[in-house]
C-alpha cells in the first residue's frame, strides 16, 4: 500500500497541470477558511441537514464569554435574587489605597461604585457596602460612613469591617488597603471583551484621578480580563512567530543551498504546509487553543522543512549523477518518499497519542498537529518533485555542491569509525546511559498553576499576584458538609461539625480566609460554643445564611481560598485536611464531609498529568515500534531503534529534573511531540542502512548511511532547533517550556542517531552468521562526502 502511494506521488510529475490545479484549490480553501470558515462549514452542514429536519439552529450571544474563559475559573461575590452568590462574576476590580476609611476615601469609593453602576455594561455589582447586616435586629450600620463622618466613626467602621466574616479577607484585605468590587456584565450591551475591560478600568481610573492624595491603584482581574490577556497574547504573537519561523526557513535554506532555485524549491513546501494548516484550524474550530496559533505553525513548518531537505538532496544527487530533471524527481520520490511517509506517520502517531489525554487543550493540540503533519507531507511530496521537474529545477545540480555542513562532515567520520570499532562498550554505554537518564527523569513531579496560562508581565497576571498577596488567594474551594435526614433540624451537632471543619482549615497556613456559618455565630452576642447557638442564626439575613447553611437541603459549606503557588504545594495540605475530615466523620457517622471545587479537582487529577504522559508516550512508542518493524521487515531493527529514540527524551527529562522544573501540561505535549520528531532522523538513517546493507557488508553499510544522511540530519536538526527556539521569546510560559523541551530533545536526538545508533547497529544489526567475512571499514574521507553529491 505504501509503495503504491509513493509511486502515485512519483507519477504526479507526469501531470503538472492537474497537480498545480490541486495545489491551487487547497490554497483557495485555506484562504477562505482563514477569513470566514462559515463559508465552507455552512454548505457542508446544510448538505447533511437536508437529511435531518430536526437540526437545531445555534444561537450565539454577542461577545459571550469564549470557551477558553471557562478553563481559567471564576472569582467570587454577589447578592442576586435574595441569594448570596459566590462564584459567578465576570470582572473583579482591585482597588488599593491606604485611606479608604477617611472622608476623602469614602467619597472616592462611593463615587467609583456609583460610576460603575451607571455603565450599561454592568448588570450587577457587589462590594463590601452591599453586605447584609449580621446584628440580631437587622439594623444596618454603614460599612463605609459618609464623607462628613468623624475620624472616630471611620475608625469604628474600619474595625467593624475587619471583624465582618464576609468582608475581612473576602471583600477587603486584612490590612484594610485592598478593596474588591465584583461585577456581573450585561452581555446585551457588551460590544467586545477588550473594550469592556478597558471601559471598566478607565471609569475607575478617571474617578481615582480626582483624588490624587489617596494614591489609588486600580487593577482588573476575573474571568473576562484573564481570557482577554490570553487571546491578546495569542493574536499578538501569532503572526510574529509564524513570520519568524518562515523567515528562518528561507534564511537557512539560502545559507545551506545558496542557489536561488534550490532555496525556492526547499522553502516552498513548509510555507505552503503552514498556510494550509492555519486554514484548517478555524475550519475545525481549533484556533482558540493556546498552542495552536503559535507552536503548531512553527512546528509544522520545521517538520515540513526537514522532509524537504531529505527529498531535495536526494533529487539533487541524482541530477548530479546524470539523470534528467523529470527522472530524478521520480526516482527521488521513490527512494526517499517511503522514509518521508514513515517520518510523517510516526510523527502523526506521536502527536495523535495526545488524544488519550484528559486535558482538552492537549487533545486539541494533538489533533491540530496531526492535520498539519498530513498537510505538510502532502505539500512536500507534490511541490518538490513538481518544482524539481520544471524549468526551476533545471540547474539545481550546478548549484554549490558543497555546503558548510558537507565541508565539515568528514571531520566527524573518524569519531563514527571509532564508535563502530568499539561497538560493544559504546553499545553498553548507550543502553546503560539511557536507562540511567530515564530513571532520573521519572523523578519529575507534576504540577499545575493558573498563572501558567497567562502572558508573563501581563496586567492580568499582576492582578492575580495582588489577589494572592492581599486576599489570601485567587481561587475558592469548599469543605462540603452534608448530613442525613435522621439528624434533627437545628441540632447542635450540626454546628459542632461545621466548627470542627472550620478549625481544621484555620490551622493550615496555605489556606486563606476560611469562612463558614460558625464565623457568623462567633461575632453574634453570647458564648459561641453555648448550646442552642445554631438556632440564633435564623435571625441572620436569608441571603447571608443560605450562602453557608441550607437546612432544607441538609448541607453547609466552609469556603476558603488558595494561592496560585502550584497545586503540588497543596497536595500534602489537602491530604491532611482530607484525613482529618475523615476523622470527624468517624466521630459523627451521620455526617459526610469532603473537599470540593476546581482546585480540589486539579489536586485529585494532579497525577493525571503523569498518566497522560505515560499513556501518550507508551502508546506512541509501541505503535512506532510496530510500524518500524513492519516497514523495515526486521524485528531486530525495530528493537535497535528504541535506544536512540528513548535517549533524547530521557536526557531532556533528566535536565529538567536537575533544573528543578516540574512536569506540566506543556511538558506532556512537548515530550510526545518530540518522540514523533526524534524518530524521523532514525528512520532516514535506518532506511539508508537497510538499502545499503543488501549491497555491502555491515560496517560499510553503516558508513554509507552516515555519509548519505549525515548532512541532512545535521541540517534538519539545526533548522528545527533554530526555528522552534523562536518561541522562546513568547510571553506565554507554557509556550516557552514547550520550545525549550523541544530544542533540547531534538538536539540530543542528533547525538543519539550519530553516536549511539552506529555502534548499536554494528553490535546487533546482523547475526554472527550475517557478519562473517566482514571487511575492515574504510575511513570516511572528505572525498567520500563530496562523492555523495
- Residue 444 has φ and ψ, to the nearest 5°, of -65, 140
Contact predicate 74/65, CB 8 Å: no
**Res 394: pLDDT:** 74
* Cβ contacts of 521-524, under 8 Å, gap ≥ 24: 521/495, 522/165, 523/134, 523/163, 523/164, 523/165, 524/134, 524/136
**Res 400: pLDDT:** 44
Q: Which has the closest alpha carbon to 705: 756, 758, 663?
A: 758
Structure letter (DSSP) for residue 129:
G
Residue 29 grid coordinates:
480553501
The answer for residues whose C-beta is within 8 angstroms of residue 711's C-beta and 6 or more apart is 313, 403, 405, 406, 409, 785, 788
Contact predicate 143/131, CB 8 Å: yes
Q: What is the DSSP string of 689-701?
A: HHHHHTTS-HHHH
Q: What is the DSSP string of 300-317?
A: HHHHHHHHHHHHHHHHHH
* Cβ contacts of 575-581, under 8 Å, gap ≥ 24: 576/508, 577/479, 577/504, 577/505, 577/508, 577/511, 580/504, 581/479, 581/501, 581/504
Q: Which has the closest alpha carbon to 222: 23, 413, 381, 72?
A: 72
Indicate the domain borders of the chain.
2-36+237-446+616-787, 74-221, 459-604
Write down the architecture of domain 459-604 according to CATH. Answer: 2-Layer Sandwich (3.30)
Q: At what angle do helices 223-257 and 459-471 cross, to 10 degrees?
A: 140
Residue 140 grid coordinates:
444596618
Q: Which ranges of 360-475 would DSSP assign to H, the alpha helix?
A: 360-388, 404-421, 423-441, 459-471
* Cβ contacts of 429-434, under 8 Å, gap ≥ 24: 430/643, 430/644, 430/647, 430/752, 430/756, 430/759, 430/760, 431/643, 433/647, 434/643, 434/646, 434/647, 434/650, 434/756
**Res 282: pLDDT:** 83
Residues 305 and 659: their CA atoms lie apart, in Å, by 31
Q: Which helix (H) or strand (E) holds 285?
A: none
**Res 24: pLDDT:** 93
Write down the architecture of domain 2-36+237-446+616-787 according to CATH. Answer: Up-down Bundle (1.20)
Q: What is the mean pLDDT of each run of 10 residues along the chain (789 residues)?
A: 70 86 92 85 69 41 38 40 60 91 92 93 89 60 83 89 86 90 88 87 93 92 83 67 67 72 84 87 73 72 80 84 85 83 80 72 80 90 89 66 59 81 90 91 81 78 87 88 90 90 92 87 70 72 81 91 87 93 94 91 74 70 79 83 87 89 77 77 83 83 82 78 78 80 88 87 68 41 38
Measured CA distances, 406 to 33, 49, 316 (Å): 42, 58, 14
Amino acid at each position: 500500500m505504501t509503495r503504491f502511494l509513493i509511486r502515485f506521488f512519483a507519477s504526479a510529475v507526469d501531470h503538472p497541470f492537474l497537480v498545480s490545479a490541486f495545489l491551487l484549490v487547497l490554497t483557495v480553501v485555506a484562504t477562505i477558511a482563514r477569513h470566514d470558515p462559515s463559508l465552507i462549514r455552512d454548505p457542508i452542514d446544510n448538505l447533511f441537514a437536508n437529511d435531518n429536519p430536526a437540526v437545531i439552529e445555534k444561537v450565539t450571544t454577542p461577545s459571550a464569554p469564549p470557551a477558553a474563559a471557562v478553563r481559567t475559573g471564576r472569582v467570587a461575590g454577589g447578592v442576586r435574587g435574595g441569594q448570596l452568590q459566590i462564584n459567578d462574576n465576570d470582572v473583579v476590580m482591585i482597588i488599593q489605597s491606604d485611606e479608604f476609611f477617611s472622608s476623602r476615601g469614602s467619597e472616592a469609593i462611593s463615587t467609583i461604585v456609583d460610576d460603575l453602576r451607571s455603565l450599561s455594561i454592568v448588570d450587577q455589582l457587589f462590594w463590601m457596602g452591599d453586605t447584609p447586616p449580621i446584628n440580631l435586629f437587622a439594623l444596618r450600620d454603614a460599612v463605609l460612613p459618609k464623607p462628613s463622618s468623624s475620624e472616630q466613626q471611620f475608625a469604628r467602621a474600619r474595625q467593624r469591617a475587619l471583624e465582618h466574616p464576609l468582608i475581612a479577607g473576602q471583600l477587603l484585605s486584612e490590612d484594610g488597603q485592598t478593596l474588591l468590587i465584583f461585577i456581573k456584565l450585561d452581555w446585551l450591551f457588551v460590544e467586545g471583551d477588550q473594550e469592556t475591560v478597558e471601559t471598566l478600568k478607565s471609569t475607575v481610573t478617571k474617578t481615582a484621578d480626582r483624588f490624587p492624595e489617596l494614591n489609588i491603584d486600580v487593577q482588573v482581574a476575573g474571568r473576562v480580563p484573564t481570557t482577554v490577556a490570553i487571546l491578546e497574547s495569542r493574536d499578538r504573537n501569532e503572526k510574529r512567530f509564524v513570520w519568524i519561523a518562515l523567515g528562518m526557513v528561507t534564511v537557512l535554506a539560502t545559507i545551506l543551498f545558496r542557489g536561488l532555485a534550490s532555496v525556492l524549491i526547499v522553502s516552498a513546501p513548509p510555507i505552503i504546509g503552514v498556510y494550509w494548516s492555519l486554514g484548517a484550524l478555524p475550519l475545525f474550530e481549533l484556533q482558540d487553543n493556546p498552542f495552536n496559533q503559535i507552536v503548531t505553525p512553527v512546528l509544522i513548518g520545521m517538520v515540513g522543512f526537514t522532509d524537504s531537505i531529505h527529498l531535495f538532496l536526494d533529487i539533487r544527487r541524482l541530477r548530479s549523477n546524470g539523470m534528467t530533471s523529470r527522472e530524478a524527481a521520480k526516482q527521488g520520490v521513490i527512494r526517499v518518499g517511503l522514509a518521508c511517509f514513515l517520518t510523517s506517520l510516526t510523527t502523526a502517531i506521536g502527536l495523535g497519542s495526545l488524544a488519550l489525554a484528559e486535558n482538552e487543550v492537549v487533545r486539541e493540540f494533538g489533533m491540530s498537529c496531526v492535520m498539519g503533519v498530513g498537510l505538510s507531507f502532502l505539500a512536500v511530496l507534490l511541490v518538490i518533485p513538481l518544482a524539481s521537474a520544471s524549468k526551476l529545477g533545471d540547474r539545481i545540480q550546478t548549484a554549490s555542491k558543497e555546503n558548510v555542513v558537507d565541508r565539515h562532515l568528514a571531520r566527524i567520520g573518524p569519531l563514527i569509525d571509532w564508535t563502530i570499532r568499539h561497538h560493544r562498550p559504546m553499545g553498553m554505554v548507550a543502553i546503560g546511559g539511557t536507562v540511567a537518564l530515564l530513571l532520573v527523569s521519572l523523578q519529575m513531579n507534576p504540577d499545575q498553576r493558573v498563572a501558567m496560562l497567562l502572558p508573563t508581565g501581563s496586567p492580568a497576571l499582576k492582578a492575580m499576584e495582588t489577589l494572592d498577596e492581599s486576599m489570601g488567594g485567587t481561587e475558592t474551594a469548599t469543605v462540603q458538609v452534608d448530613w442525613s435526614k435522621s439528624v434533627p433540624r437545628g441540632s447542635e451537632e450540626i454546628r459542632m461539625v461545621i466548627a470542627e471543619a472550620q478549625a481544621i482549615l484555620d490551622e493550615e497556613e496555605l489556606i486563606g480566609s476560611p469562612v463558614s456559618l460558625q464565623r457568623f455565630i462567633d461575632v453574634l452576642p453570647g458564648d459561641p460554643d453555648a448550646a442552642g447557638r445554631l438556632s440564633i442564626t435564623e435571625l441572620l439575613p436569608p441571603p447571608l445564611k443560605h450562602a453557608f447553611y441550607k437546612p432544607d437541603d441538609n448541607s453547609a459549606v466552609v469556603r476558603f481560598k488558595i494561592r496560585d503557588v502550584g497545586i503540588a504545594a497543596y497536595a500534602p495540605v489537602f491530604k491532611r485536611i482530607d484525613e482529618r475530615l475523615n476523622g470527624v466523620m468517624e466521630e459523627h457517622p451521620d455526617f459526610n464531609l469532603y473537599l470540593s471545587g476546581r482546585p480540589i479537582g486539579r489536586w485529585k487529577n494532579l497525577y493525571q498529568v503523569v498518566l497522560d504522559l505515560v499513556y501518550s508516550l507508551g502508546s506512541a512508542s509501541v505503535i512506532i515500534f510496530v510500524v518500524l518493524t513492519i516497514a523495515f521487515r526486521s524485528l531486530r531493527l525495530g528493537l535497535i531503534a528504541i535506544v536512540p529514540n528513548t535517549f533524547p527524551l530521557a536526557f531532556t527529562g533528566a535536565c529538567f529534573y536537575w533544573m528543578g522544573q516540574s512536569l506540566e501540561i506543556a511538558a506532556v505535549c512537548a515530550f510526545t511531540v518530540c518522540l514523533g520528531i526524534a524518530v524521523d532522523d532514525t528512520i532516514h538513517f535506518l532506511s539508508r542502512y537497510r538499502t545499503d546493507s543488501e549491497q555491502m557488508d555491515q560496517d560499510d553499510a553503516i558508513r554509507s548511511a552516515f555519509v548519505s544522511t549525515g548532512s541532512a540530519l545535521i541540517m534538519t536538526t539545526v533548522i528545527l532547533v533554530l526555528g522552534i527556539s523562536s518561541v522562546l521569546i513568547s510571553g506565554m510560559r507554557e509556550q516557552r517550556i514547550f520550545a525549550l523541551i523541544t530544542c533540547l530533545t531534538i538536539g540530543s536526538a542528533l547525538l543519539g542517531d550519530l553516536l549511539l545508533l552506529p555502534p548499536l547497529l554494528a553490535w546487533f544489526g546482523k547475526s554472527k552468521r550475517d557478519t562473517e567475512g566482514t571487511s575492515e571499514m574504510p575511513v570516511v574521507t572528505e572525498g567520500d562526502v563530496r562523492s555523495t553529491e
